[in-house]
A and B are shown apart, each in its own frame.
Chain A
Amino acid sequence: MKSPLRSRYDVVIVGGGPAGLAAALGARQAGVEHILIVDREIEAGGILNQCIHSGFGLHYFKEELTGPEYAERFIRNVQSDQVEILTDSYVLDISPALQLEIISGGYGHLQLQAQSVVLAMGCRERTRGSIRTPGFRPAGVMTAGLAQKMVNMHGVLPGRRIAILGSGDIGLIMARRLSLEGCDVTGVYELQPHCSGLTRNQVQCLDDFGIPLHLSATVAFIHGRDRVERLTIAPVNHELIPDLSRSWDVACDTLLLSIGLIPENELSTRLRLRMDPATGGPQVTSNLETSLPGVFACGNVLHVHDLVDFVSEESLRAGRFAGEVAIGMRRPSDNISLQAGENIASCVPQSLSPDREQIIYLRVKRPLKNCVLTIGDRYEKSFRMLVPAEMIRLTLAPELLDRYFGEMLKIDVRLREAT
C-alpha cells in the first residue's frame, strides 16, 4: 500500500459531501496549501449521489441540476494540488489538540495533525426506534433514504406495494421515484396537520401520481411476521394520540419512514463541543467556529438544511474561516449572543459580531401568515407566509450592529396585528 499522505495538514475536513466539498473550496480561497477531505464512502459527493431528481443548484449555479450533476461540478472545482480526497476512510476521533485518528481502507490506521478542522459529517435519518411504532418486526420497514440508495445506486427495489410514514421531502421524492419504477404507492401518512416537505414536492411527487396524503394520521400497528403484510392506520387528535376506534388497515409489503433527520455529531460530543439542543448541532460563532477554537462546523451536521445551495454557501464560509485560522489570521471574536425568541424553533449562528456581514439561518415553530420578523430593535422584515419546512435566510449588513452596545439580541416572529 502507498504510504500515507502527509502527517500535517492546514485544514482537515471530516466528510466529503456537499458541505465538505464547499469547505475545501473556501479553505483554498483563504490561501491554504494543504487541505485533506476524509470520507467514508468510495467516492466524494455524499447524499447528492443518490438524489437523482432535479431541483438542485438554482441559487448557487443559477440552473436546475440533479444531485449527481451538482456533486460532480463541485468535485471538479475542488480537484487541485491543494486538496486531497481520502475516500473509504473514517475519522475515529479528534483530540482537543486537533490530532485526528483515522481508519482507512487504503492505508490502515493513520494519525494526522491539523491546524484547523471542519466538521461536515452531515446527518442521518430517524428510524422506527425513534418513534416506537407498535407491531411486529418484519423485513420491509426502512428509512426513505435507504430505499433511495437501494433503488438509485444498487438497482434493487425495496418492495412492490409501498406505504410511507412521514411527509418529509425524501419520503415525497421516493413516492414519485417508486411510482416511476412501477411500484404501487398506497399513500403517505403524516402525524402533523400539515405536510412537512416542500409544497412543490407535494404537487409534483404526490398529486401528479394520484398518491393520497393523509394528514393527522399515523401507523398504529405493523402486521406481518417475516415480511410486512399490512398496516393499521389511525387518525390522531390534537394531542397527536391515535384514535384506534377510527382506524383502518392498508395492505402493503414495505413501509418507508421519512420522519426527520438527526445531525451526526458523535465526533462533536466526544470533543465536548457546546451543543444547541434546538438544532442538534454544535453552537457556532458568526465565523461558524465551535466552542473549541480551530474547530468549525457547517452543513447538516450543524443544522438540518432543506436546500443544498444553502449548505454550499454556509460551508464555503466555514472553510474560508478555517483556512484563515490555519494560517494565523484571527478575526475579532463575537460579543453579542443571538437567541431564538417567540415562534422561532432555532437559529444559526448563536452569536454575532459588529464588524462583518452576517448570514442568519432560522426556522419557525409553526406555519405563520402575514407576520413580522424582528432582531432586537435592529432589524425588521415582513413575510407573507412562513412554514417550518422552509428555512429562512437573512443577510445583515456589517453596519447594522455598529451602534449596538447590548450583549444579547433576540429574534422574534409575531403576527401582524389586524388593522
Chain B
Amino acid sequence: MLEKRRLTCIGCPMSCPLELVIIDGEIREITGNDCKRGEAYARQEYTAPCRMVSTTIACNSGLWPRLPVKTVTAVPKAEVMAVARALHTLEIEAPVQIGQVILDDIAGTGIAVIACRSLPSAPNSK
C-alpha cells in the first residue's frame, strides 16, 4: 500500500517541508530536505517520534531560584509530559556546574538529565 506523508523538519530553523513516500509501512523515499539532518528526522519521526525536554528545577540558595536542565538525548514523544512532571519534583543545592548530571534516569526512560548552566551561590547566602 502506498502512502504519502508530509512533515516539517525541526532539525534547524530552515524548517524544510519533507515528503515521505511509504510503501507497506516502509519509507522508500524522502524529499524536500536540504541536508542529511532532514532525512534522519523524517525516519525518526515516522518510526518513533521523540523530543528534547528542557525545563527548570528548584535550586536552593542559588543566584537564581531555578536551574535550567535538559535531557541529554530526545525522549519518546509520549513520555514528554511524564518527564517534565518528574523533573518538577527535583531540588538541588547551589553551586552547580554546567553539564553536571542531575539524575541518571528520568521517569524510567534511561535518559540522563544535566544542568544547562553553572549556578553560583547567591552572594548573601551561606
Question: What is the distance, in angstroms, from A278's C-beta to the closest C-beta of chain B?
Answer: 22
Contact pattern, B 51-80, Cβ under 8 Å of A = 1, otherwise 0: 111111010000111101010000001001
Tell me, in angstroms, the Cα distance from A180 to B11 when the chains sit together: 21
Q: Is B44 an interface residue (CB 8 A)?
A: no
Q: Is A332 an interface residue (CB 8 A)?
A: no
Q: Is A390 an interface residue (CB 8 A)?
A: yes
Q: Are B116 and A155 in contact (CB under 8 A)?
A: no
A199 contacts across to B, CB distance below 8 A: 8, 15, 17
Tell me, in angstroms, the Cα distance from A127 to B77 when the chains sit together: 34
Q: Are B10 and A66 in contact (CB under 8 A)?
A: no
B54 contacts across to A, CB distance below 8 A: 52-54, 66
Q: Is B9 an interface residue (CB 8 A)?
A: yes
Tell me, in angstroms, the Cα distance from A52 to B63 when the chains sit together: 16
Tell me, in angstroms, the Cα distance from A223 to B17 when the chains sit together: 40
Question: What is the distance, in angstroms, from B29's C-beta to the closest C-beta of chain A?
Answer: 19
**With A66-B68, A69-B98, A152-B68 in contact, is A198–B56 under 8 Å at CB?**
no
Tell me, in angstroms, the Cα distance from A390 to B12 when the chains sit together: 12
Q: Is B81 an interface residue (CB 8 A)?
A: yes
Q: Is A154 an interface residue (CB 8 A)?
A: yes
Residue of B nearest to A71 (CB): B117
**With A52-B55, A52-B116, A53-B54 in contact, is A66–B64 under 8 Å at CB?**
no
Q: Is A204 an interface residue (CB 8 A)?
A: yes
Question: What is the distance, in angstroms, from B41's C-beta to the closest C-beta of chain A?
Answer: 10
Q: Is B13 an interface residue (CB 8 A)?
A: yes
Number of A-B contacts (CB under 8 A): 82
Question: What is the distance, in angstroms, from B69's C-beta to the closest C-beta of chain A?
Answer: 8
Q: Is A42 an interface residue (CB 8 A)?
A: yes
Q: Is A153 an interface residue (CB 8 A)?
A: yes
Q: Which of A69, A153, A202 has the most CB atoms of chain B within a 10 A radius of its CB?
A: A69
**With A66-B116, A68-B116, A155-B58 in contact, is A198–B68 under 8 Å at CB?**
no
Tell me, in angstroms, the Cα distance from A53 to B11 when the chains sit together: 14
Q: Are A152 and B13 in contact (CB under 8 A)?
A: no
Q: Is B118 an interface residue (CB 8 A)?
A: yes
Question: What is the distance, in angstroms, from B106's C-beta to the closest C-beta of chain A?
Answer: 13
Q: Are A153 and B10 in contact (CB under 8 A)?
A: no
Question: What is the distance, in angstroms, from B105's C-beta to the closest C-beta of chain A?
Answer: 19
A42 contacts across to B, CB distance below 8 A: 63
Q: Are A180 and B55 in contact (CB under 8 A)?
A: yes
Q: Is B30 an interface residue (CB 8 A)?
A: no
Q: Is A72 an interface residue (CB 8 A)?
A: yes
A152 contacts across to B, CB distance below 8 A: 56, 66, 68
Question: What is the distance, in angstroms, from A18's C-beta to the closest C-beta of chain B?
Answer: 14
| A193-252 interface (Cβ within 8 A of B) | 198-200, 202-204, 208
**With A68-B117, A152-B68 in contact, is A198–B63 under 8 Å at CB?**
no
**With A66-B68, A69-B116 in contact, is A200–B77 under 8 Å at CB?**
no
Which residues of B are in contact with A by a Cβ distance under 8 Å?
Answer: 8-15, 17, 51-56, 58, 63-66, 68, 70, 77, 80-81, 84-85, 88, 98, 116-118
Q: Pick the 7 closest A-B CB pairs, nearest first.
A: A199-B15, A68-B117, A52-B68, A200-B15, A200-B10, A180-B84, A155-B66
Which residues of A are in contact with B by a Cβ distance under 8 Å?
Answer: 42-43, 49, 52-55, 58, 64, 66-69, 71-72, 151-155, 177, 180-182, 198-200, 202-204, 208, 306-307, 390
Seed contacts A181-B88, A202-B8; 14 additional CB < 8 Å A-B pairs: A43-B63, A52-B70, A54-B70, A66-B70, A68-B117, A152-B68, A155-B58, A180-B55, A180-B81, A181-B55, A200-B9, A200-B11, A203-B10, A204-B51
A–B Cβ pairs within 8 angstroms, 13 of them = A52-B116, A54-B54, A58-B12, A69-B116, A180-B53, A180-B55, A180-B80, A180-B81, A180-B84, A200-B15, A204-B10, A204-B51, A390-B13
